[in-house]
Amino acid sequence: MSNPLKDMDKPDVIFAIGTNMTECHPVAATRLKKALTSGARMIVADPRKTRLAKMAHLHLPIRVGSDVALLLAMAHVILREKLYDIDFINERTTGGVEFCKHLAEFTPEWASTICEVPAKDIEKAGLIYGAGKPSAIYYTLGITEHICGVDNVQSLCNLALMTGNLGVEGGGINPMRGQNNIQGAGDCGAVPNNFPGFQPCEDPASAEKFTKAYGREIDCERGITKVTALNTCGDGIHAMLIDGENTVVSDPDKNHCEHALKSLDHLVVIDIFLTETAELADVVLPATAFGETDGVQSNTERRVQRLRQAVPPVGEAKPDWWIISEIGKRLGLPGFEYESAKEVFNELCSLSPIYAGLDWDRIEDGKYHWPVPDKDHPGTPMLHEKEFKNGRGIFKIVNYRDPAEVISEDFPLWLTTGRRLQAYHTRTQTGRSAGIEYLLPEESLEIHPDDAAELGLVHGAMAKMSSARGEIEIPIKVTTMSPKGTVFTSFSFANVPVNILTGSGYDPVTQTAELKVCPVKVGPV
Amino acid sequence: MSIFLGFCRFANRSGLKIPHLRRKDVCETPTLGDFSKSQSFFERNSVEGTNRPEIYEEIVQTGDADRALFNLINIEKILILKIRFDTIALQLMTVNRDQITEVDLLTMTLDGEAVQFTEGETIYQVADRHRKEVPTLCYDDRLEAFGACRLCVVEVEGIRNPVASCTTKATDGMVVKTATEAIEKHRKTLLELVVSENRNVDVDELSGYASQEMKNLVDRYGARTGRFQGRKSGTSNTKDKNPFIVRDYENCISCYRCVRVCAEQEGDYAINVMNRGFDTQIITEFNQDLRDSECTFCGQCVQTCPTGALGDRKALRDVETPGELKKTRSICPYCGVGCSVDLLTKGDKLVGVQPAMDGPANEGALCIKGQFAFDFVQNADRLKKPLIRRDDGELHECEWNEALDAAAAGFAKVRDKFGRHAIYGVASGRAPHEAAYTMQKFIRAGFGTNYIDNCSRA
């Protein structure tokens, strides 16, 4: 997030796109509700009539995967109506002229044919966002889990740049991270392109820094992503160490994923439960869970916070850092003689410029947002306040592309996937917490009444759903939450393994899977 | 009083927006030595007017933080605030002139002492700031004041009847007494009346965060006299079989905190009040079960209930579990918001979760997952020992040494056979930093590659 969570009750205009916030980030959503109570206006772009959409002043039920078209047209309206912030554009950005020229043809009428919402609503969205002082953007995986995820994000940046909504209280571009420490995994350098603290692997100075710190030469080129690694299992990649991820249920194209892991010579999984993924491993190592270990987490607003141990680990479970270090030591690697989580974290701080002002003791109260470049720095709740990291904000020329697969005679419905309030990911945790099943006993496929009638589907009955990759059975839930032509389900339930169907394509830059779009056929069993 | 708290109050009162300020940033009274250590900080930040030690000396020497800071703002029109810190010492930060909003300070007399406040503050807020311990039952500082319980009444000179301090604005020159004999007697009588309507006062502290408020006040005022006998109010809802929230309205005192937190804090409006007087009932729309209402089971109503009428059904399973109830501050393991929670434990057992009211990301809020989905931790399915795949193709439990040796040997074998680019690491987005950090170090230091990723792409 460019802005802190406490800013969320301050926007004049809220633009929420591709986020089911009341279910996925409920506590953050309470702040938006407060903003609404005090007079903020809200635009929600989401194919489904979510709770958030029902609260919106303007709901745009756009076709899945049509976000770029919507955002280009909104920018077109902002330009035409001169709602841009010319001073901000002149002083802090580059590429504005080219971007404005690019916008000429992308009228709301043009976007309307792609997004399948009325042109006047797109026009209205542009006017409302453009007039907000400030306007804030919130998004989640509904933006990124597309083959054009990067284009979607850049389109949002363009909107914020042209209206000067960056570096202002109550504004900004705010992606909400979905997992407790997914931000932290990136902060710590568990990515193929960056060392800890987002220091690029391809930067020779960084490579040298870590070569020196770790005592061995490290490739000065980025590694492959997990998606590529899974594609080359058995043919390039022969061993994997997976920590706390139920890859075969959460990743797209389940069959492919399972096949990939099975073709490894050696698979070691660290987890708290014997997940579907752990069942495929050669060695499974039991890790400590929440409440059983000390550690550190970064939240979605880059706030670095302490986890504390409250109970002893079950059985012989050990902290992840201890397990990995023990494997390292057995391979004869130096630098893994840690005695505590504190030691590990302090080493991270010593190597990461964004954590340079932090250490284990300083984060006791969780008051710092990174970057914290030195010990006298108060932290950075808001990014881009005076300047952008790389100088000027860059307008990017973006064009609309169709999703990897589009609906056809064979697969005439759009499937989009997501999450439920009461379930978390693959339910390894919520599925084992008493009472949750009282509210959400099973997964179902949400389908519009018209579609259900046309396909002869009855509420509560089982249906077959297939895509180019496979077929599953799933109970039907007839609801107007889904727009006509689009069906929805979550990937949380192992008995409805929807990721057998997904996996049509990946963003070429980030290799994020297009989990939000998958043409399917649905019919009675 | 710590200088910081004084500042907090001052800032609060004057409507100043101070960045990076946390109520928790309390420290002992600083010394001038501390100040000198922070000189470099100013110099680096070179903000006008901040390099004047005499200002700080004044703060330190007067001991009255409120007044010192008030003088300071008059002298310099610049606020200097201190945030605590860590092992080294005091840091001083400056707030830019343009961030300062000047407001008029008004004065009232509170229990004989002249105190300052700003327009818009209630008597209760001023009194609370001066630690007057005015009792309340319907008050939750996250919610609009409601004025229902009448316990916070105070005497105001010139007004014949006691006034509810939570809903009465302080005015310039007002003379207020918070705990006269008459007021205290009145409070005791009120509590005696409240007690008489409830089935019981003593509820287990596992019920919820605020569940002991009523019990504590009843004890403080010695109100278990049984002076009033008669009709009880409220009917417990036993038909709602939801597994999370006990709805024991026989202990309800109609403070409406549950209704208000649901509306004001959560924006869900799932519950409301039906009837009045002895017949008051808290209900959902059409009196259906919570499951069939707008309720999201965030548990905020449970945590704000001052009598335990609403109880945390999951935590209450462990009333009989031996051991003292302990709270440990941590962070919720679900989404990326990073809500602070207090883990409730008895002995080695995790028995529940309560929201941390001073959690920086959530400020007391939680959702159903953070509030109620904690017991996966000590679930019987947890892996307790390492597993290894033996010749029969099945996973078998084994000792750590064997498992770690096998794990390491497998990587060494693949490295030797296929080269260092044949090994890949996937870090968790769920585990702490230390897991992700050691994982990437293992790959980079172990094999010299950047063949490492996490689960953010799916």
Looking at residue A6, what DSSP letter applies? G
State whether B408 and A330 contact (CB < 8 Å): yes
Asked if B386 reaches chain A (Cβ–Cβ under 8 Å), the answer is yes
Query: What angle separates helix A149-162 from helix A67-80, to the nearest 10 degrees?
Result: 20
- Answer whether A307's CB lies under 8 Å from B330's CB: yes
Q: What is the pLDDT of residue B39?
A: 39
Which two tokens mark B72?
């300071």
**Quick one: average pLDDT of B291-316?**
97
Task: Give span(s): CATH 3.10.20.740, chain B.
Answer: 105-179
Q: What is the pLDDT of residue A250?
A: 81
What is d(CA B286, CA B293) in angstroms, rounded to the nearest whole number?
Answer: 9
Q: What is the pLDDT of residue A385?
A: 86
What is d(CA B60, CA B29) in angstroms, rounded to the nearest whole number?
Answer: 7
Given pLDDT bands bounded at 50, 70 and 90, which one contains residue B58? low
Task: List chain B residues with CB under 8 Å of A226.
Answer: 424, 426, 453-455, 457-458
- Answer whether A260's CB lies under 8 Å from A254's CB: no
CATH of A178-222+287-374, one of 3.40.800.20, 3.40.50.740, 3.30.930.10, 2.60.40.1930: 3.40.50.740
Domain ranges of chain A: 5-176, 178-222+287-374, 224-286, 413-524
Please identify, in words, the CATH class of the domain defined by A5-176: alpha beta
**pLDDT above 80 (res B14):** no
* A283, A424, A491: best to mutate for the B interface, most B CBs within 10 A: A283
**Quick one: average pLDDT of B325-337?**
97
CATH architecture of B194-316: 2-Layer Sandwich (3.30)
Given the DSSP bridges, would you call strands A199-200 and B395-397 parallel, antiparallel or unpaired?
unpaired
- Answer whether A517's CB lies under 8 Å from A64's CB: yes
Of the candidates A274, A271, A322, the residue with the CA atom closest to the CA atom of residue B396? A274
Q: Could you read off the pLDDT of B165-205 as tens digits, one per residue?
A: 999 999 999 999 999 999 999 999 999 999 999 999 999 99
Please identify, in words, the CATH class of the domain defined by B325-372: mainly beta
Higher-pLDDT residue of A483 and B78 is: A483
Of the candidates A425, A505, A415, A419, the residue with the CA atom closest to the CA atom of residue A466? A415
State whether A421 and B296 contact (CB < 8 Å): yes
- Answer whether A280's CB lies under 8 Å from A310's CB: no
Task: List chain B residues with CB under 8 Å of A498.
Answer: none
Residue count (chain B): 458
Higher-pLDDT residue of B67 and B404 is: B404
**pLDDT above 70 (res B247):** yes
Neighbours of A525 (CB within 10 A): 9
Helix (H, G, I), strand (E, B) or coil at B313: helix
Helix (H, G, I), strand (E, B) or coil at B202: coil
Q: Please report which residue ranges of B206-305 form alpha helices under DSSP H.
A: 213-220, 257-260, 300-304
State whether A379 and B377 contact (CB < 8 Å): no
Higher-pLDDT residue of A194 and B2 is: A194
Q: What is the pLDDT of residue A494?
A: 78
Q: What is the pLDDT of residue B278?
A: 87
- Answer whether A206's CB lies under 8 Å from B387's CB: no
Which B residues, 18 through 47, put their C-beta within 8 Å of a C-beta on chain A?
Answer: 19-20, 22, 24-25, 40-41, 44
Q: What is the pLDDT of residue B208?
A: 97
Task: List chain B residues with CB under 8 Å of A282.
Answer: 388-389, 406, 410
Given pLDDT bands bounded at 50, 70 and 90, which one contains residue B4? very low
Q: What is the pLDDT of residue B457?
A: 67
Q: Could you read off the pLDDT of A315-325 as tens digits, one per residue?
A: 999 999 999 99
Q: What is the pLDDT of residue B19?
A: 36
Q: Could you read off the pLDDT of A126-170 as tens digits, one per residue?
A: 999 999 999 999 999 999 999 999 999 999 999 999 999 999 999
**Quick one: average pLDDT of B93-100?**
38
User: For the domain A413-524, what is the CATH code?
Assistant: 2.40.40.20
What is d(CA A53, CA A78) in angstroms, rounded to the nearest whole number?
Answer: 23
State whether A512 and B296 contact (CB < 8 Å): no
> Across all residues in chain B, what is the average pLDDT?
82
State whether B266 and A33 contact (CB < 8 Å): yes
Task: Give span(s): CATH 3.30.70.20, chain B.
Answer: 194-316
ipTM: 0.95
In Å, how far from its chain's centre is CA A487? 21
**A251: nearest CA partner in chain B:** B458
What is d(CA B131, CA A170) in angstroms, rounded to the nearest whole number?
Answer: 34
Task: List chain A residues with CB under 8 Å of B427.
Answer: 185, 188, 190, 243
Per CATH, domain B105-179 is 3.10.20.740: yes
Residue count (chain A): 525
State whether B455 and A318 contact (CB < 8 Å): no
Which regions of chain A are under pLDDT 50? none
Q: What is the pLDDT of residue B71?
A: 45
Q: Could you read off the pLDDT of B406-437 as tens digits, one per residue?
A: 999 999 999 999 999 999 999 999 999 999 99
Q: What is the pLDDT of residue B103?
A: 60
The amino acid present at B152, given as its one-letter code, is C
Asked if B289 reaches chain A (Cβ–Cβ under 8 Å), the answer is no
Q: What is the pLDDT of residue B102?
A: 52
Nearest neighbour of A243 by CB, restricted to B387, B426, B441: B426
**pLDDT above 80 (res B24):** no
**pLDDT above 80 (res B129):** yes
What is d(CA A245, CA A268) in angstroms, rounded to the nearest whole number?
Answer: 12
**A351: nearest CA partner in chain B:** B437
Nearest neighbour of B455 by CB, restricted to A240, A250, A265: A250
Of the candidates B343, B344, B334, B337, the residue with the CA atom closest to the CA atom of residue B362? B337
State whether B367 and A421 contact (CB < 8 Å): yes
**B374: nearest CA partner in chain A:** A433
State whether B44 and A376 contact (CB < 8 Å): yes
Given pLDDT bands bounded at 50, 70 and 90, which one contains residue B458? low
Q: What is the pLDDT of residue A427?
A: 86
Q: What is the pLDDT of residue A320?
A: 98
φ and ψ at residue A415, rounded to 5 degrees = -100, 130
Beta strands in A371-495 (DSSP E): 393-394, 413-418, 445-447, 462-466, 471-478, 486-490
Nearest neighbour of B451 by CB, restricted to A224, A299, A323: A224
**pLDDT above 80 (res B288):** yes
Q: Could you read off the pLDDT of A167-192 as tens digits, one per residue?
A: 999 999 999 999 999 999 999 999 99
Helix (H, G, I), strand (E, B) or coil at A345: helix
**Residues linked to residue B452 through DSSP beta bridges, in sequence order:** B425
SS (H, E, C) A249-304: HHCCCHHHHHHHHHCCCEEEEEECCCCCCHHHCCEEEEECCCCCCCEEEECCCCEE
